[in-house]
Each structure stands twice: as C-alpha cells, then as structure tokens.
Amino acid sequence: MQIDTAKLVYFSPTGTTQKVVRAIARGLNPGSIEEIDITKPAARVRPLQTSEDDLLIIGVPVYVGRVPAIVLPWLKAIRAQNTPAVCVVLYGNRTYEDTLLELRNLVTQCGCRAVAGAAFLGEHSFSDAGTPIAAGRPDAGDLRRAEEFGQKIREQLRSVSPGSPVPEAAIPGQYPYRGDSRLWTEDFIEVSDACTQCGSCAGQCPVGAIDAEDSKKIDAKLCVSCCACIRYCPEHARSIKPGRVKDAQLRLHTLYPDRKEPECFF
C-alpha cells in the first residue's frame, strides 16, 4: 500500500506533541505532508475530512490520563473513510493510562483504521528549571525512536497488498477509562512586574483564556492548565504560584524522577 499524503494532526500547547508527530512523519517520508495544528481555537472550527488514500498521524498530550476534553468535539467530527491512522500520545513521565486507547477509539468511531500507536515522553507542562519533570523530552534519542517508528509504519504499509485491509494495531488500555477528563478550575498563574503586556501569552493560549489587553486577567474557567503562556513568555514573567498546581508540580518532580522510554504498538 502506497501513502501519498500524510495528514499530521496535533494539539500541542507546549510543542512536544508537535515535535514527535513531525519526527514520525520524517521517518515515514510520504509523498506530501499536510499539517493540521488544532492547538488554537480558530483551528478547531473547520472539521477534517480524509480518504483512504491519506494517512493520519494524530497526536495529543495526556491530560490527567485522558485525551484533553477541549479537543473532543473536533475529534468526534472527523469524517474518514477507512483512513489508516497512527495514534500518538505524549505524557510527562507519570503515566498515560488509557489515553492511547481513548484516542484510538475516537478515531475508529470516525471511520479511521488505527494501524499503529505510540506513547512518547514530553517535558511535563508543569516542569520548570527549579522543579524539572521529564525536562528536555523529547530529546534526540526520542526523536530518533519516533523516526524509526515512522520507518516501520512505512514498511508495514508497503507489505500490504492493494485492496487488503491494513491490520489494526493492538493498543493497550482498558474501558471504562481510568483517568479523569475534568480539570481543576484554578487561578494558579503569577504574573511578575517583568510583564510588558506584549500579548504573546494571549496569542499562545489554546482556549482564549487570557485577556489580550491585560495579560494578568485569566479566565480560570476556560484555562486548561497547559502552561503554554508560562513556557512561551519572552520576559519569563509568568510562573506557577503556591497552591494546588504548585503542589502537583513538586509531587510529580519527586515521584517520577526515573526516565521512561517511548512505547510503540502495531
């Protein structure tokens, strides 16, 4: 089976999912690549349609052991026709629980055929210099693994004769899913005097929770705690203030210091 176009779909507020999805596509080396970055609200308006000649590489971060609830309506609206799909989750060194299975089930219900899946490691959204959690992941070794994974998918697809179904991947996980798709409603971001009101945080926010005119104004009900505004602040003016998220950051740093490795499934 020949793949002409790979469609890369990712929700990636702090960029780790995007890096891994792109590395998989490099290894796969299809005829052409189309990127559909659904991180920003405006990109989650137009639904995706794919055919069986495309290959979908779809990646999301793990949020409390689940697919982030914010992307569920867009994912459920995908219209596919037997499109082979590679499901990818990025997690911050704790666990991905049933997220990969949930993503696989979501795309399968939309008409995709999940031919491979993978769980990769990404620096935890709550990680910072003083309290690192999977800092620097995905690193060069992870990206090499992602490229090799892409090459294997290519070989597998090539071994399938035209007209035959591509075997579905055995994805681990259980249903009912164990994680919790409800997030905390927490006002946890501290903004220092270094803030110049440049508006970059509001531009980066995947849910439009930050006031573009006053970046100290954050709608905690919309915020998904992704920490993109902290990660991308050019003045390093934003940080996690004492409270539930800070406690979680410290707990994750203490409990999950050991390096975990990516897992790939066919």
Ligand X SMILES: Cc1cc2nc3c(=O)[nH]c(=O)nc-3n(C[C@H](O)[C@H](O)[C@H](O)COP(=O)(O)O)c2cc1C
Q: By the criterion CB under 6 A, which residues form the site for ligand X? A: 12-17, 61-65, 90-95, 122-125, 183, 225-226
CB of 82 to ligand X, least distance (A): 28
Q: Which is nearer to ligand X, 47 or 136 (CB)?
A: 136
Q: How far apart are the first and last CA of the chain?
A: 16
CB of 151 to ligand X, least distance (A): 23
Q: Which is nearer to ligand X, 13 or 117 (CB)?
A: 13
d(CA 262, CA 16): 13
The residue whose Cβ lies closest to ligand X is 122
Q: Which is nearer to ligand X, 4 or 247 (CB)?
A: 247
Distance of CA 212 to the CA centre of its chain: 25
CB of 197 to ligand X, least distance (A): 24
CB of 16 to ligand X, least distance (A): 3
Cβ pair 233, 176 in contact under 8 A: no
Q: Which whole-number Å values give the CA distances from 165 to 114, 115, 125, 169, in the listed order?
A: 11, 10, 38, 12
Strand partners, 91: 121
Q: Which pairing describes strands 54-61 and 5-10: parallel, antiparallel, or unpaired? A: parallel
DSSP 3-state of 1: coil
d(CA 148, CA 159): 17
CB of 45 to ligand X, least distance (A): 20
CB of 181 to ligand X, least distance (A): 10
Distance of CA 46 to the CA centre of its chain: 19
Q: Which is nearer to ligand X, 179 or 199 (CB)?
A: 179
Q: Which is nearer to ligand X, 62 or 264 (CB)?
A: 62
Q: Which is nearer to ligand X, 175 or 213 (CB)?
A: 175
d(CA 246, CA 131): 10
DSSP 3-state of 84: strand
